[in-house]
Amino acid sequence: MRSNAVVLAAVLCLFLLSPFAVGIRTGPGRITTVNGGRNAFSKLGPFMEAPEYRNGKECASLVNRENFVSSSNDPSLVHIAMTLDSEYLRGSIAAVHSVLRHASCPENVFFHFIAAEFDSASPRVLSQLVRSTFPSLSFKVYIFREDTVINLISSSIRQALENPLNYARNYLGDILDRSVDRVIYLDSDVIVVDDITKLWNTSLTGTRVIGAPEYCHANFTHYFTSNFWSDPVLPGQISGRTPCYFNTGVMVMDMVRWREGSYREKLEKWMQLQKKMRIYDLGSLPPFLLVFGGNVEAIDHRWNQHGLGGDNIRGSCRSLHPGPVSLLHWSGKGKPWVRLDEKRACPLDHLWEPYDLYKHKIERVKDQALLWFASLSELADD
C-alpha cells in the first residue's frame, strides 16, 4: 500500500505543476512595509501575473515598442483613467484585466491611475503591484492630494461615498498630463466585455464635454432634497434643460473642453453650497447631474449595466437591464469579490470572477487537490 501512496503523491505533484494549475504565474511575493513588525499591506496581493495580450496585425503599431516609455501623447493610444487604492485594488486589477482581454489592440491602451496621497498603501507600492501583475502594461500613477477636496465633502447615505478618492474624477483636468486631451473614466468595480475602442470612438457632438449612458426614465427630482426644490433660485439653474440621470462611473471626457470651461470650479461651487444647505444626499454624483444634466452625449446603455452591487440599504441582488452588454458595473453596496469570498455571491458575480487575478484562486485549486489526494490516500491504505 505504501507504493500506492507514492504513486498518488507523484500524481499530485504533476497536477500542481501542470500548465492548468500554473498557467497564469504568480507574481513576486507580497510587498511589505515594516510597521511595528507587522505586515501593513497583508490584504494586497500578491496577484497572479496576467497573460500577455498583444496587438493584432490590424493595429496601428507603436513606434519602437521595445523602448516604449510611459508616453501619453501617441495618437494611437486609448486613454483610460481609474482610481487605485488598497480598498478596491482587487476590483481595479480585474477591470484592467477585462479591458486588455477584450481590446482589439491591447498594447495601445494607456492607463492613468489616480492614487490617494494618504492611502494605507503608498502610490509606490500600488504601482509595484500593478507592474508585477501586468509587466508590459503602459500606465502612469498620479498622486491625488486628498486635502484638495476633503473640506468640500459632505456626509452621504453610505460612508464609502465620502472617500476623497471618489472625487478624483472632478480633478482629472488638473491631474492628468496636458497632452491627454480625451479620456475614458472607469470606476474600479466594472468589467468590460467588449472592445474598449468602440467606447473610445464615441463622438462628443456640439459643445458637449462628456458622454455617458443616460437613464431618462429615472425621476431626476429624487436626487435632490426639498431644500433644493423649495429654493426660489436653485431650480432655475437647470431651467431650459431636460436633465436625465447618468452614472459617473463610465464617462468619455473631452479634457480640452473640460479645462477651457473650468468645470472643476463649477462642480466645486455646488459642493460648497451643499455644505451650507444640504441640497442632496448622495456623494459625488449630484454635482455632475447639476452641471452636465441635459447636455450629455448619450451613449448606448450596453456600456454601463450599472447597479449590480444591489440596493444601498439592503444589498439585494440585481439582474441585468434588457439589451446587449458591453460593460458590467457593480455600483451599489455589494462588491463581487466580497460576496464571492463570503460565499454569498449574487448570480451575476460569477461573470466577474474569471477576471479576478487575486492569488487565492490558485490556493483553492491546491486545496482541492490536497483534499483529493487525502481521500485517495485513505483508499490506498485500506
> Per-residue confidence at 20, pLDDT binned at 50, 70, 90?
very low
- Mean pLDDT computed over 51-56: 92
Per-residue pLDDT at 130 exceeds 80: yes
- pLDDT at position 157: 55
Q: Which long-range contacts (CB under 8 A, 24 or more apart) does 35-44 make?
A: 40/120, 40/121, 41/86, 41/120, 41/121, 41/125, 43/86, 44/86, 44/89, 44/121, 44/125, 44/129
Alpha-helix residue ranges (DSSP H) falling in the chain: 2-16, 19-22, 89-102, 123-133, 172-175, 196-200, 226-229, 255-260, 263-277, 285-292, 336-341, 349-352, 360-381
- Residues 364 and 370: their CA atoms lie apart, in Å, by 10
* Domain positions in the chain: 72-372
- Residues 347 and 307: their CA atoms lie apart, in Å, by 14
- pLDDT at position 161: 60
Per-residue pLDDT at 315 exceeds 80: no
CATH H superfamily, domain 72-372 = Spore Coat Polysaccharide Biosynthesis Protein SpsA; Chain A (3.90.550.10)
Per-residue pLDDT at 85 exceeds 50: yes
- pLDDT at position 23: 28
Question: Mind listing the pLDDT tens digit for each residue in 172-230?
Answer: 999 999 999 999 999 999 999 999 999 999 999 999 999 999 999 888 888 899 999 99
**Contact of 294 with 206, CB cutoff 8 Å:** no
Question: pTM, whole model, 2 decimals?
Answer: 0.81
Residue among 299, 59, 53 at smallest CA distance from 199: 299
- Residues 303 and 309: their CA atoms lie apart, in Å, by 16
